[in-house]
Amino acid sequence: MRASLAACRMSVGALLNGLLVSVVAALLWKYSKLSEHAALLEDELHMTRQSQELSQAHIDYHVALQALQEHGTRMVCTGKMHTDRICRFDYLCYCSEAEEFVFFHSNASVMLPNLGSRRFQPALLDLSSVEDHNTQYFNFVELPAATLKFMPKPVFVPDVTLILNRFNPDNLMHVLHDDLLPAFYTMRQYSDLDHEARLVFMEGWGEGPHFDLYKLLSSKQPLLKEQLRNFGKLMCFTKSYVGLSKMTTWYQYGFVQPQGPKANILVSGIEIRQFAKALMEKMNLTRVEEVEKGGGSSEGKEEKKDEYIIVFSRSTTRLILNEAELILALAQEFQMRVVTLSLEEQSFASIVEMISSASMLVSMHGAQLITSLFLPRGAVVVELFPFAVNPEQYTPYKTLASLPGMDLHYISWRNYNEDDTVTYPDRPWEQGGIAHLDREEQERIKLSQEVPRHLCCRNPEWLFRIYQDTMVNIPSFLEVLKQGMKTKPNPKKSKPVSMLHPGRVREPQCQTSVQTSTEAKLTVSWQIPWNLKYLKVREVKYEVWIQEQGENTYMPYILPQQNYTFSENIKPFTTYLVWVRCIFNRTTLGPFADVLTCRT
Ligand code: UDP
Nearest one of 26, 18, 25 to 58, comparing CA atoms = 26
The residue out of 437, 458, 486 marking a domain boundary is 486
Environment class of 572 (CB within 10 Å of its CB; exposed 0-12, middle 13-18, buried 19+): middle
Q: Taken in order 9, 14, 17, 23, is the CA torsion positive or negative?
A: positive
Mean pLDDT, residues 322-340: 98
- Between strands 380-385 and 409-414, the pairing is parallel
**pTM of model > 0.85:** yes
Confidence at residue 442, expressed as pLDDT on a 0 to 100 scale: 98
In a domain, 8, yes or no: no
In a domain, 94, yes or no: yes
Beta bridge partners of 383: 363, 412
In a domain, 6, yes or no: no
The pLDDT tens digits of the residues spanning 463-492 come to 999 999 999 999 999 999 999 999 999 877
Q: Within a 10 A sphere around the Cβ of 505, how many other Cβ atoms?
A: 25
Q: How far is the CA of 215 from the centre of ligand 1 (A)?
A: 21
Residues with CB under 6 A from ligand 1: 171-173, 314-317, 343-344, 366-368
Same domain, 180 and 78: yes
Task: Evaluate if residue 2 carries a pLDDT over 90.
Answer: no
Lowest mean pLDDT among 250-254, 296-300, 333-337: 296-300
Q: How far is the CA of 171 from the centre of ligand 1 (A)?
A: 6
The pLDDT tens digits of the residues spanning 388-434 come to 999 999 999 999 999 999 999 999 999 999 999 999 999 999 999 99
Contacts for 26 with CB less than 8 Å, ≥ 6 apart: 54, 57, 58, 60, 61
In a domain, 481, yes or no: yes
Mutate to test the pocket of ligand 1, among 343, 346, 369 (most ligand atoms within 8 A of CB): 343
The pLDDT tens digits of the residues spanning 288-319 come to 654 444 444 444 444 456 899 999 999 999 99
Q: Within a 10 A sphere around the Cβ of 476, how many other Cβ atoms?
A: 15
Q: Taken in order 178, 179, 185, 189, is the CA torsion positive or negative?
A: positive
CA of 38: how far to CAs of 153, 163, 225, 229, in Å?
A: 21, 18, 12, 10
CA-nearest residue for atom 3, ligand 1, is 314
Q: How far is the CA of 316 from the centre of ligand 1 (A)?
A: 8
Environment class of 527 (CB within 10 Å of its CB; exposed 0-12, middle 13-18, buried 19+): middle
Task: Evaluate if residue 37 carries a pLDDT over 50.
Answer: no
Task: Evaluate if residue 42 carries a pLDDT over 80.
Answer: no
Same domain, 190 and 272: no
In a domain, 197, yes or no: yes
Q: How far is the CA of 363 from the centre of ligand 1 (A)?
A: 12
Same domain, 233 and 348: no
Give the span between the Cα atoms of 207 and 224, in whole angstroms. 7
Q: Chain-centre distance of CA 467, in angstroms?
A: 26
CA-nearest residue for atom 24, ligand 1, is 366
The pLDDT tens digits of the residues spanning 141-169 come to 999 999 999 999 999 999 999 999 999 99
Same domain, 224 and 299: no
Q: How far is the CA of 280 from the centre of ligand 1 (A)?
A: 22
CA-nearest residue for atom 10, ligand 1, is 367
Give the span between the Cα atoms of 99 and 87, in whole angstroms. 19
Task: Evaluate if residue 18 carries a pLDDT over 80.
Answer: no
Mean pLDDT, residues 329-354: 98
- How many domains is the chain built from? 3
The pLDDT tens digits of the residues spanning 484-528 come to 999 999 877 666 667 899 999 999 999 999 999 999 999 999 999
Mean pLDDT (the chain) is 90
Confidence at residue 260, expressed as pLDDT on a 0 to 100 scale: 98
Q: How far is the CA of 343 from the centre of ligand 1 (A)?
A: 9
Same domain, 527 and 397: no
Same domain, 216 and 350: no
CA of 368: how far to CAs of 277, 298, 358, 396, 592, in Å?
A: 18, 35, 15, 12, 43
524 and 510 Cβ atoms separated by less than 8 Å: yes
- In sequence order, what DSSP letters do the residues of 429-486 get, joined into one string? GGGT--TTS-HHHHHHHHH-SSPPP--SS--HHHHHHHT-EE---HHHHHHHHHHHHH
The pLDDT tens digits of the residues spanning 89-127 come to 999 999 999 999 999 999 999 999 999 999 999 999 999
Confidence at residue 115, expressed as pLDDT on a 0 to 100 scale: 98
**CATH code assigned at 357:** 3.40.50.360
Mean pLDDT, residues 268-292: 87
In a domain, 29, yes or no: no
Same domain, 532 and 476: no
The residue out of 456, 486, 516 marking a domain boundary is 486
The residue out of 486, 520, 537 marking a domain boundary is 486
CA-nearest residue for atom 13, ligand 1, is 171
Give the span between the Cα atoms of 472 and 480, in whole angstroms. 12
Mutate to test the pocket of ligand 1, among 210, 314, 363, 457 (most ligand atoms within 8 A of CB): 314
Same domain, 274 and 390: yes
CA-nearest residue for atom 20, ligand 1, is 171
Same domain, 342 and 289: yes
Q: How far is the CA of 371 from the centre of ligand 1 (A)?
A: 13
Q: Within a 10 A sphere around the Cβ of 46, how many other Cβ atoms?
A: 11
Same domain, 405 and 544: no
Q: Which atom of ligand 1 is nearest to the CA of 172?
A: 15
Confidence at residue 29, expressed as pLDDT on a 0 to 100 scale: 52
Mean pLDDT, residues 14-32: 43
In a domain, 430, yes or no: no
The pLDDT tens digits of the residues spanning 47-73 come to 444 443 445 677 789 999 999 999 999
Classified as helix, coil or strand, 385 is: strand
Confidence at residue 58, expressed as pLDDT on a 0 to 100 scale: 75
Q: How far is the CA of 410 from the centre of ligand 1 (A)?
A: 21
Q: How far is the CA of 116 from the centre of ligand 1 (A)?
A: 43
Same domain, 95 and 240: yes
Confidence at residue 562, expressed as pLDDT on a 0 to 100 scale: 98
Same domain, 410 and 536: no
Give the span between the Cα atoms of 115 and 80, in whole angstroms. 11
**CATH code assigned at 531:** 2.60.40.10
- Between strands 575-584 and 563-566, the pairing is unpaired
Domain housing 110 = 61-249
Confidence at residue 15, expressed as pLDDT on a 0 to 100 scale: 32
Classified as helix, coil or strand, 212 is: helix
Classified as helix, coil or strand, 26 is: helix
In a domain, 428, yes or no: no
